[in-house]
Amino acid sequence: MQTRVIDYIDFDKVNVLLEGFNQSTGFVTAILDLDGNVLSKSGWRQICTNFHRVHTLTSTRCTISDTELSGQMNKGEKYHCYKCLNGLTDVAVPIIIKGEHIANLFSGQFFFEKPDYKFFEEQARQFGFNETKYMKALKEVPIVSEEKVKTAMDFLLNMTQIISEMTFQRMELMTLNNTISESEETYRMLYENLNDAVFTSELNSDGTLGKFIHVNDIACQRLSYSREELLQKTPLDINSLTQKETVISNTQLFINNQRTVYETEHITKNGEIIAVEVSSNLTTYKGKTLILSIARDITERKRAEEELTKNEAIIKTTVDNLPIILYVIDKDGIFRLSIGAGLKSLGLKPNQVVGFSVFDVYKDHPAIVQAVKKALSNELTNFESKVNEAYHYNSLSPLPNVGIIGVAMDITELKNTFRKLEQSREDYLKLFEDHVAIKLLIDPSSGQIINSNFAAENYYGWTREELKQMNIAQINTLSKEEIEKAIKNAMINQKMHVEFIHRLANGSLRNVEVFSSKINFNGKQVLHSIIHDVTDRKKAEEELVIAKKRAEESDRLKTAFLQNMSHEIRTPMNAIMGFSELLPDCANDSVKLKNYTNIINLRCNDLLDIINDILDISKIESGQLPANMTATNLEELFSELSSFFNEYQKRLNKEHIELNLHAFSNHEQNLILTDNVKLKQIFINLISNAFKFTDEGKIEGTCKLDNTNNLIFSVSDTGIGIPQDKHQYIFDRFTQIQHKGKKNTGGTGLGLSIVKALVSLLGGHVSLESEPGKGSTFYFTIPYQPNRAALAEPQEVINTQHSELSGKTILIVEDDANNAEYLNEVLAGTGLIILQAGTGAAAIEKSNIQNIDLVLMDVRLPDISGYEALRLIRTKNPNLKIILQTAYATIDEQRKAFSEGCVDYLSKPIKKDILLNMIKKHLN
């Protein structure tokens, strides 16, 4: 099978050579295989890359020329010049590996004499080239003497020899590796008979190099060691002192990449230094990690390279006629070559700096020093330098194991020209293109956009070229007539300040503020428009108006609420305080005393309802009102509600209104899981509301199941009803419907808002049916969760007599003197022995020294909290019964009381009957 060049030629190294040759001589190069495929190229002329090799017909000519040159190479010529069918001269040098002609190194794209410009002008017209650009590209093609070509070709012949050697070495190495993988026997034969030294060493587990385990005869002969002696050494032992770090670093490299090739120096037993190229592979064998290395003696090649670098005459002859500087710096930073006509601009003579360190010569030019260091790290580097007011463009190319080759071109004149142009450009950009504001230049006669800046491009989403093809009517949402009128007014008045709606490329619409003025541009009057996006400002203004309305409405509602609260609180307070003052005057009139006391009690309940409503809505808004699902019996719930509202009707003097609450007829259906407290509160709010607005007739509550497994509750009344247009507001906070001719019923305006929130908390929704004069029906749903396993607990009958309390000791812990006195009065006559403590410390002390049956503990005490006090009491009296009493009337507080071990919980204000029943329950 024919050898494939691309598999063996190291194009990374070849490209460095070709690029250096192009930069130092100006000759373009390329490597083509025998089929005409371009494998590598450097510095090709624009007339070829942009014209001849682009057009179908001229490209075919190029292929014919390449084929012709390749054919001449097959005849055994050293090199061959040929004038291609497109009119340029090319030259080719054969690349021969192991006697086989496998590719050609091309150069050329030059003239030996002044070209026939008419020929090329005719060629441009024939093939449709841009004649101006084509002829400009033609002028860049150099005219070169045959002597220079001969000199360059001799250099290229040496280069092809280097390429051939490099490729030959790679072919041999690859052949060796393939052979090793095919057969162990073949591997051993090659191992022992290869002309290169072969070493196999072990890689230690910590990444260090172990001893050799195999070496071939060539390795022993070259290093003058016996096989036994070499097998006692490591790869580091046979490398010179200066190359040990190179071996270590390359070992780490090939451990990561499995394969590497590097140059080093081996030292023989007699101390002789041998330059070698080492190719290493990583492999595993019988559980061990092995390094297989082949070391080729490259002493002759290194000598040839040194000879090549010494051949400066050819390069000098070429470079001295070019306005450039060519310099070579070795790997220690020492100048080894400095030639070229460009040295005059630096005040230097050829090779004047040779032998000096670049770091010393240019120590005051850190950019040059940094670039040289970068190139010495094997990185292609391009940079600009300024020395003695002369600017140069430098290109540095690494030469492996040698140093770097650099080319510098004087660009001082070009820089000065660019500086002037850049200044003009910057002035223009500052005025127009780079301005952060959106700018358009518009033709007033047609509305066509003449130009735009980058801000306009970014804002509208069209490119500047697209904008130049557009009319302002394609952006502005006004009609064409309205746009023409606006432009006309702007031209008459010299300026314009208007707000429009503009359309963007993505179809979105934006509010803009446009400032336009008439200016002269390229001798023509145009409209210069500066555009600001005010969409966010407009939106903010609209939101501000909405927010203002909301704030005003909120302020109105809050004002109404505060006024209402003031009225609702002061009204019962007026009765409480008024009748409290009258009590001493009627001490001997039992009828009046009972009447006044009932009034005070009723108004206190009203005040408590108001406070509870405010607390409920506050807890709902703050999310501190969780649902507590417990077993609930609807029959018992409706029975409690009926008892509650019997008293409520007496307070309102509406005992004539009939109240009917209907549970399920099936007893088990009434046993459900829900939040019993919140369900009761919903009914209390709805029924209380019904009583307020019903003067005659009845109020009825029902429950039923729908087909979606929801419980539907309803509360109906025969009251005055609610107008249809008020239905959507009736559940809003602070909302109260004023009925014509109807006395204000009072309240906070929070009841129905609380109902809606509580129903939502239980997973349902609330609705309303109502008509003025025909009454109202409120419906609400909750999910139906049956609890058939629950049995109704028998109601405990509390003995109204107090004989069972006689002789029992109770400790009242209360810091408020009035509350303490109230509790004393309530418990007076019960036979209880009453102890009192105003602080937590006092309560702890009394519980430790006296036998106490029950503690009535307040939460808020002046020294420590009631919870802390009860914990300390329980350390000595773990079974002591404690009832918590607090003004913090929340479900969380109740849960905390039970979690702390309290037997019960009382929320203030404390009612006499509830307190006595609870004490009897826990002392009986």
Cα(94)–Cα(89) distance, integer angstroms = 17
Residues, the chain, total? 924
Phi first, then psi, for residue 33 (nearest 5°) are -80, 180
Contact in structure between 67 and 36 (CB atoms under 8 Å): yes
* Placement of tokens 């009932």 in the chain: 598
- Sheet containing strand 775-783, edge to edge, reads 658-661, 698-705, 710-717, 775-783, 766-771
Cα(895)–Cα(905) distance, integer angstroms = 9
Q: Which residue has the higher pLDDT, 416 or 567?
A: 416
Smallest CA-to-CA distance from 261 within 15, 5, 4, 13 is with 13
Q: Which residue has the higher pLDDT, 470 or 519?
A: 470
pLDDT digits (tens, 9 = 90+) for 701-721: 999 888 888 899 999 999 988
pLDDT exceeds cutoff 90 at 778 = yes
Max intra-chain CA distance, the chain = 149
Mean pLDDT of 809-817: 88
828 three-state secondary structure: coil
Q: Where are the alpha helices (DSSP H) in 392-479?
A: 412-428, 454-460, 464-468
Q: Which of 50-59, 357-366, 890-899 shows the lowest mean pLDDT across its residues?
A: 890-899
617 three-state secondary structure: helix
Q: What are the E-state strand segments in 547-598?
A: none
What band does 797 get if pLDDT is binned at 50, 70 and 90?
very low
pLDDT digits (tens, 9 = 90+) for 168-219: 777 776 776 666 556 555 556 656 667 889 999 998 888 888 999 989 889 9
CA distances from residue 859 to 538, 813, 879, 888 in whole angstroms, order as listed: 55, 9, 20, 9
pLDDT exceeds cutoff 80 at 560 = no
DSSP H or E run through 317: helix 312-319
Q: Give the best-scoring range by mean pLDDT among 176-180, 522-526, 539-543, 581-585.
A: 539-543
Cα(739)–Cα(721) distance, integer angstroms = 9
Q: Which of 79-93, 603-617, 633-647, 749-763 shows the lowest mean pLDDT across its residues?
A: 603-617
Give the pLDDT score at 905. 84
What band does 796 get if pLDDT is binned at 50, 70 and 90?
very low
pLDDT digits (tens, 9 = 90+) for 666-693: 888 888 888 877 888 888 888 888 888 8
Percent of the chain with pLDDT over 90: 15
pLDDT exceeds cutoff 60 at 822 = yes
Specify the DSSP class assigned to residue 99. T
Q: Which of 82-96, 118-132, 425-439 shows the lowest mean pLDDT across its residues?
A: 425-439
Mean pLDDT of 802-820: 82
Q: Which of 59-68, 622-631, 870-879 shows the lowest mean pLDDT across its residues?
A: 622-631
Cα(227)–Cα(272) distance, integer angstroms = 18
Mean pLDDT of 621-650: 78
Give the pLDDT score at 879. 87
C-alpha 185, offset from chain centre: 60
Mean pLDDT of 24-36: 78
Strands 335-339 and 658-661: unpaired
Smallest CA-to-CA distance from 316 within 344, 338, 335 is with 338
Residue type, 612: N
Strands 881-886 and 904-907: parallel
Smallest CA-to-CA distance from 545 within 535, 534, 533, 537 is with 537
Give the pLDDT score at 522. 73
The chain-wide mean pLDDT, for the chain, equals: 81
Phi first, then psi, for residue 142 (nearest 5°) are -75, 155
Give the pLDDT score at 760. 85
Cα(804)–Cα(620) distance, integer angstroms = 43
Smallest CA-to-CA distance from 293 within 375, 218, 400, 371 is with 218
Cα(295)–Cα(276) distance, integer angstroms = 6
Q: Which of 127-131, 497-501, 649-653 shows the lowest mean pLDDT across its residues?
A: 649-653
Contact in structure between 211 and 201 (CB atoms under 8 Å): yes
Which residues on adjacent β-strands are paired with residue 673? 631
Cα(693)–Cα(777) distance, integer angstroms = 12
521 three-state secondary structure: strand
> How would you classify residue 169: left for phi > 0, otherwise alpha for psi between -120 and 50, otherwise beta?
alpha
Phi first, then psi, for residue 194 (nearest 5°) are -65, 145
Joined tokens for residue 179: 């052979």
Peptide bond into 909 cis (omega under 30): yes
Q: Where are the alpha helices (DSSP H) in 583-675?
A: 590-621, 634-652
pLDDT exceeds cutoff 60 at 611 = yes
pLDDT exceeds cutoff 70 at 565 = no
Q: Which residue has the higher pLDDT, 628 or 679?
A: 679
What band does 575 get if pLDDT is binned at 50, 70 and 90?
low
* Placement of tokens 């003695």 in the chain: 388
CA distances from residue 363 to 339, 356, 357, 372, 907 in whole angstroms, order as listed: 21, 12, 10, 12, 89
Strands 288-297 and 197-203: antiparallel
Cα(217)–Cα(499) distance, integer angstroms = 93
Cα(813)–Cα(873) distance, integer angstroms = 12
Q: What is the DSSP string of 458-485?
A: HHHSS-HHHHHT-BGGGTB-S-HHHHHH
Mean pLDDT of 412-423: 75
210 three-state secondary structure: strand
